[in-house]
Amino acid sequence: MSALATPKHDVRKLRFSTGAPHLQSPFPGVAPSPYTPFSGRRSGSVPIGTPQLPTRPTSFEADALATLPQGSAEEFINGGLDAALRESSLDVLAGLRTQYESGTPQAADAFVKEMISTLALQLERANELMDAPSLHPYVRKQVRALQNRLLLEQTTWNLVDTAWRPSEIRSRDLSTTRLAPSNLDENSVLKVPGYVKCQRIVEWLETTAADVLERSGGPKVKPLDDPAYRWEYTASKYEGEKVSMDFPHAVGKSLDEVETKAEGRISHETFRLVRAGKLSEAEELCRRVGQPWRAAALAGGKKSSALSANGIKGDARRTWRIAAKAIARSPDPAILPHERAVYGVLAGELEPVLAVSTTFEDEAWARLCTLLDSTAEFVLNGRNVTVAAIEDETVLQIFRECKHAGEGLDVADGKVLEGIRMTRAYVGIGPGMCGSHVSQLLKTLGELAEAGASSGEEWICRFAAHACIFLKTSGLLAGIKNRPQDEFSFDTAIEKYVEVVLQKDQEREAKARAHGTILPPRRIVPETAARYLAELHSDDRIISTYSVLLCAALEEDLSHERAEAKRVGVSPRQVDERRTLCLQKAGQCFPREILDLLIVAATDKLWKSMLPDQVDNSLVSDDIKLSESVSDEVSETDELVVRAIEFLIFPAFANYKEALLRVTNLARQFFLRGRRAAARYVISWAPAEVMSQIEPSTCEGPVHELESWRVYMDAISRHNEWKTYQSRKPQPISEKMRAAASAEPGEVSYEIQANAGIQVQKFNKENEEFLRTSERYCQAAVQSLGAALLLEGGWMQDKYKQNENITERPRGDYALRNRSKEIEAIRKFGIPQLTVLLHHVYHESGMFTEAIGLAQVVASDHLKLYECFGVSEMKSFLTRIADSTVLLADTMIQSGQCERPYETTMFEELLANE
């Protein structure tokens, strides 16, 4: 069976190890612990439990792929193939990691075989789809393109399997074994350094060609008994002449036109068989079509130990070789190109073979066969084996010379195809490649993955990632920590694959949202991201890439919440299935120190993308001021950046101090930019467990700031409630109505008096109720405003300590750099505002004494509230105090508590004149 043939056995599943890190599960009430393995799950995965999705019927459609017929060509070309390969690759990767960590020496070999089997299964599926006669031409074209890509990927893994196996050449009918020993045994040739290595590459090239030949239906020479093959049409014109290989020359005539075409066909198919490493089958084919002389001529290309006529061992082969070279070099147009190429490859002549080569593989095969032939002749002529050594650089140069040759551009663009071909060149060297070649291979794979990511080709990135993982498993990357460039290339290849997977999943989610559909979360995406990123050497790249997935998961969860709210018309339950799934997979694959940084990075990334003006511009601002425009709306973006803080309070990943800093930080940013409703939202959203899990003495500054925000928001809310209720004051009864109600009998009609009495009684009752309720609102407003204004420690008084422990973030600690300036700006706005609002409540409620007393509060050297007032603000405040003073005096005069000063004096006259 050829190396490309579909295996007859099922794919051997590799098992995960049952070991897993111990961490607390996020959302323990929603899903089982992601860190406690249990049985009953498919092989190749660590079971962590599935998040509970709604069981009641919803209007949300299922996965888009699920709407296509299972196993259909449409499903295959619209993501079904990629999904199947992701699933299978995770199984293979998990099994590899288990074997590698357990020290199994054959881990790399098992990985390669599993990759070949996985691709073979999908190729078999593609072949079945292509065999369907009813397949639409457009769909057939798409399936064929995927089929070719699978073949390109699988044949490359076949090369790895061939070049890295410890055994010798498997077939004895390959062109690489067609040697005739002379005075030295064939083993002398095999001792040439690099010779067997080249033999294996040629074996791969020939088995690949054999598979192509098999898929095409074999040699196209039927019917085998066609008289044209035996030149019977020409022979019938010359009775008595015996048909032989010299027949056309003997009669001096050319062949019939039909026979000429038959000659071209048999020579072409003979070359295809030789190209496929089937020289014996080529001989047999020549015999079956009635050309035994051609079979005999080809037989000379086999290795032979027969004695020649002069009794010298191997001399017959030497004589045949001279004749074969003459045929290959002959300019005679009667010798067909493919016939010339057959003898050329058997006798070591390159040019005739290149003349008929149509693919990259054909040209590489021609050059390598010629190299092997010339090396063998060099050694068999008695030369030193060491001098004849084939260097790795020589093999690489052969691949470079033909990397642009032949077909294949329909499978991938030129740059990608060139990268895959050079990858083949390096892996063909085998496990003995030097460090510089390993570096060049990693660089090639990194560039290949980047090219695939830029064009959105997942299969290219997947291949590059798997190739890097294979190199790591094989032991060639030992000491990579000391080679930064190699480490960078390795990480790039894997990171690009994960990025493409995430990008495709986000496109799928966006397309579903555009159609009003919320897709259920898929385990395969976060598991793929987590398991592949766990192979990276750079923690920063792990965090940067996986945080993209976390941000997307948050957006999808919120979209689900909004969709449910719109559907049921009430506030829905909190949806966190996607985030839970992502963090579960992260908890399985990443160490704790990465998890701590990951949740902070996810919040940072979302803030930076959603609020660039609110985060980055303030970093360089020396003069922080409040925005003059004010918005009382909470946008979806505002909600998203607030809910991003939830990453910091997941039970298994909780960082409550960081969450507290984020809450207060975001409140400041919203408030300073006039988004007061958004600031209220973030403070009201702040979970209670944040404060319950923090020891105030260890985080005094942020704790005091959060308390300042809460009392401020409560004070503003209470004042607004009081003010709103004032607008509900009953309309006063007119004097005419009151007079009618209290009129003496006979002054007004009975009906009018009765109606007036009812109206006055109703007003009095409503007014009493209003006054009682207004008093409650007034007391609540006064208490809240006073509590904020006189908050212990000072409202928004910065109590931050530089030694407080805060998680460091990649962009620098923004909270540390601007917090003091921002708090100062907010305090200078809030203190005058709270003072004026409290005075307003006192003044409008007739509490003039209390209103005037605020002047003493502001002037107190203990509180130093006056430092927060600007000149215009202080002037406005004092004017309000003066107004309250005048009204208090009028009230006291009217109640008889005092007399109007200077009455009956010139001052009174002046006042009257005004």
pLDDT at 42 over 50: no
From the list 202, 331, 345, 323, the residue with the least C-alpha distance to 274 is 345
Higher pLDDT, 11 or 671: 671
Q: Which domains can be identified in the chain, with CATH numbers?
A: 174-357 (1.10.3450.20), 518-694 (no CATH), 705-803+811-895 (1.20.190.50)
Over residues 578-596, the mean pLDDT reads 90
| List of residues 6+ apart from 478 with CB closer than 8 A | none
Residue 826 contacts residue 671 (beta carbons within 8 Å):
yes
pLDDT at 456: 87
Q: How many residues are recorded in the chain?
A: 914
From the list 744, 657, 643, the residue with the least C-alpha distance to 703 is 657
Residue 582 pLDDT level (bands cut at 50, 70, 90): very high
Lowest mean pLDDT among 241-250, 562-571, 808-817: 808-817
pLDDT at 423: 92
CA distances, 201 to each of 196, 424, 431 (Å): 9, 9, 13
| List of residues 6+ apart from 86 with CB closer than 8 A | 501, 524, 528
pLDDT at 385: 63
Rg (CA), the chain: 44
Lowest mean pLDDT among 181-190, 467-476, 754-763, 868-877: 181-190
DSSP, res 47: -
Residue 121 pLDDT level (bands cut at 50, 70, 90): very high
pLDDT at 545: 94
Backbone angles phi, psi at 748, to 5 degrees: -135, 165
Strand, helix or coil for residue 203: helix
On the CB side of 784, CA atoms within 13 Å amount to 22
Residue 607 contacts residue 641 (beta carbons within 8 Å):
yes
Residue 530 pLDDT level (bands cut at 50, 70, 90): very high
Higher pLDDT, 64 or 252: 252
Most confident of 323-327, 707-711, 801-805: 707-711
DSSP, res 24: P
Lowest mean pLDDT among 186-200, 475-489, 784-798: 186-200
pLDDT at 247: 63
Identity of the residue numbered 135: L
- Report how far residue 313's alpha carbon sits from residue 666's, in angstroms, rounded to the nearest whole number: 91
Over residues 832-851, the mean pLDDT reads 94
Lowest mean pLDDT among 481-485, 495-499, 618-622, 888-892: 618-622
pLDDT at 365: 93
Residue 408 contacts residue 388 (beta carbons within 8 Å):
no
pLDDT at 576: 85
**Taking all residues of the chain, what is their mean pLDDT, rounded to a whole number?**
79
Per-residue pLDDT tens over the stretch 76-85:
888 888 888 9
As given in the structure block, the two tokens for residue 162 are: 């061939």
- Report how far residue 5's alpha carbon sits from residue 52's, in angstroms, rounded to the nearest whole number: 43
Residue 182 contacts residue 448 (beta carbons within 8 Å):
no
Residue 301 contacts residue 278 (beta carbons within 8 Å):
no
The answer to whether the pTM exceeds 0.75 is yes
Residue 895 pLDDT level (bands cut at 50, 70, 90): confident
Per-residue pLDDT tens over the stretch 164-180:
887 665 555 544 455 44
Higher pLDDT, 610 or 557: 557
Lowest mean pLDDT among 301-305, 422-426, 623-627: 301-305
Residue 673 pLDDT level (bands cut at 50, 70, 90): confident
| List of residues 6+ apart from 508 with CB closer than 8 A | 64, 79, 519
On the CB side of 614, CA atoms within 13 Å amount to 25
Over residues 775-798, the mean pLDDT reads 93
- CA 23-24-30 angle, to 5 degrees, is 135
CA distances, 215 to each of 146, 209, 831 (Å): 16, 10, 84
pLDDT at 38 over 80: no
Residue 671 contacts residue 830 (beta carbons within 8 Å):
no
pLDDT at 804 over 60: no
Per-residue pLDDT tens over the stretch 231-285:
777 777 766 556 666 666 555 567 778 888 888 899 999 999 999 988 889 989 9
Residue 541 pLDDT level (bands cut at 50, 70, 90): very high
Residue 909 pLDDT level (bands cut at 50, 70, 90): low
Per-residue pLDDT tens over the stretch 681-700:
999 888 777 777 787 777 88
- Report how far residue 624's alpha carbon sits from residue 633's, in angstroms, rounded to the nearest whole number: 23
Per-residue pLDDT tens over the stretch 361-371:
999 999 999 99
Give percent above pLDDT 90 in the chain: 33
Per-residue pLDDT tens over the stretch 604-620:
888 887 775 544 334 33
Over residues 326-338, the mean pLDDT reads 89
Helix axes 750-789, 700-726, angle to 10 degrees: 170
pLDDT at 167: 65
Residue 911 pLDDT level (bands cut at 50, 70, 90): low
| List of residues 6+ apart from 207 with CB closer than 8 A | 2, 3, 4, 158, 162, 171, 276, 277
pLDDT at 773: 93
- Report how far residue 681's alpha carbon sits from residue 832's, in angstroms, rounded to the nearest whole number: 23
pLDDT at 14: 35
Label residue 242 left, alpha or beta by phi (over 0 means left) and psi (-120 to 50 means alpha).
Answer: beta
pLDDT at 744: 81
pLDDT at 101: 64
pLDDT at 204 over 80: yes
pLDDT at 494 over 60: yes
Per-residue pLDDT tens over the stretch 436-487:
999 999 999 999 999 999 988 899 999 999 999 999 888 888 878 788 999 9
Give percent above pLDDT 70 in the chain: 78
- Report how far residue 849's alpha carbon sits from residue 889's, in angstroms, rounded to the nearest whole number: 10
pLDDT at 450: 93
